[in-house]
Structure 1
């Protein structure tokens, strides 16, 4: 396990309503997928995998940003001691998309590197964040994306990269594309946190109630257009599973049980 990365804070948006999965007895982030390694084979909730992968990279401090009512998440994970992590919780504000949810953490992460993870996505290999942080340290990129093969391109942000791993563009949920990889994880520096904070404020000043949901891919593309350095680490033999629909949930249960 990597030494603690004291300059890195994990950010996990958990504000979704999981409407595509129908009625669930718990928050989607706590849906059990597989089992822990303890003798009792305790069920393992889906977001536990993400926290493990952050911890493998030395990320110990994590903010989980909740929608009001999803109190079962802090009730389950608590302050994180049983995971050897320090967890804290924030409430989402503007309900206009994931970037606004993440921006709730701006006062707490503005001077830190950020490791972003989605709690309903399972991915391999386990050392993804270590690779992303190492690349960011080596190249000084503002943002480093973790790329995986896209099994459902129309539902993803597809990423166009050059031969050096520099991101040329992000294509959000394209109707048709020849691009093969989607991003599922990311790390970024305070430069991007500040860019996103001011970008979102400017959007709200122009339109207080946005006409459509804003995606993180939109903000990353805006950063590219503004000249920020965005790179990617490609995990061509890796795997990423989003449990957002019943079919995908079934795939994840089969793969991890």
Structure 2
């Protein structure tokens, strides 16, 4: 089954606002310039694209909102990454799951790898390792779990036997749990579940107000509640560094410079 990447890049970056451009293109660290080989600024989202490429995804769909034209202008068709990139426009403005569902027609019969474009992850083969577990088990979803120091910034995971995810706790004020999730891969069964679940959410809400926003973690929890199998890979020596707040962005710049 073909593996594709999905990236929700429709956020407004309110915690970092104002910015001169899309947060997904904010430079973190350096890479060799493709022509000169000299150190060149590297946009934060490129790290995720490289993770997806390492996992075997050659087709990636980025869902953006109107006005974030600097993302397709920078990446173009993806040839600089030896990948094929396509761009979709967000429709329902109620959070990342709705952005991901914009790619439903293209993703419904594919294996999907997913990550957040403003989170820096190691090891570089994390998604590849997770895909191997997805293919080797009966799981519908596999989450990449990382030890985190600030649970209130993460969706924290409670595990059952053999690494199965029993419950996802969204950004708890206090928690004794150790791992938060930052990457995911899934089979078509979850893509279909998310598509149907989001339609139900909109029906329940009738006309959601502007403050309503649903998280990917909440949809995965709903999938667990409905019997889908969610497994995990814990990267004990790995790292996940969010760049979505000024203080975290400062830490990322220090670590990658």
TM-score, with structure 1 as normaliser: 0.96
Aligned with residue 120 of structure 1, among 118, 122, 127: 118
Structure 2 partner of 1:12: 7
Q: CA deviation at 1:155?
A: 1.7
Structure 2 partner of 1:79: 77
Alignment: residue pair count: 252
1:186-230 Cα shifts (integer Å, max 9, x gaps): 000000000000000011112133363111111111110111000
Q: Distance in 2 between matches of 1:80 and 1:208?
A: 38
Structure 2 partner of 1:47: 45
Q: Distance in 2 between matches of 1:235 and 1:37?
A: 28
1:44-90 Cα shifts (integer Å, max 9, x gaps): 01011111111111111100000110000000000001110000000
Q: Distance in 1 between matches of 2:21 and 2:30?
A: 17
Q: Secondary structure at the match of 1:198?
A: helix
Q: CA deviation at 1:245?
A: 0.7
Q: Distance in 2 between matches of 1:202 and 1:252?
A: 38
Q: Distance in 1 between matches of 2:31 and 2:115?
A: 20
- Greater shift, 40-49 or 210-219, is seen at 210-219
Which runs of no fewer than 5 residues in structure 1 stay unpaired? Answer: 1-5
Q: CA deviation at 1:37?
A: 2.8
1:179 equivalenced with 2:174 (yes/no): no
1:118-161 Cα shifts (integer Å, max 9, x gaps): 11010100000110100000002100000011222112100111
Aligned with residue 22 of structure 2, among 11, 15, 27: 27
Q: CA deviation at 1:185?
A: 0.3
Moved over 4 A (4+): none
Q: Distance in 1 between matches of 2:74 and 2:15?
A: 23
After TM superposition, list the pairs within 5 Å mapping 1:53-92 onto structure 2: 53-92=51-90
Q: Distance in 1 between matches of 2:124 and 2:207?
A: 39
TM-score, with structure 2 as normaliser: 0.96
Structure 1 partner of 2:240: 240
Aligned with residue 96 of structure 2, among 95, 98, 116: 98
After TM superposition, list the pairs within 5 Å mapping 1:177-256 onto structure 2: 177-210=175-208, 212-256=212-256
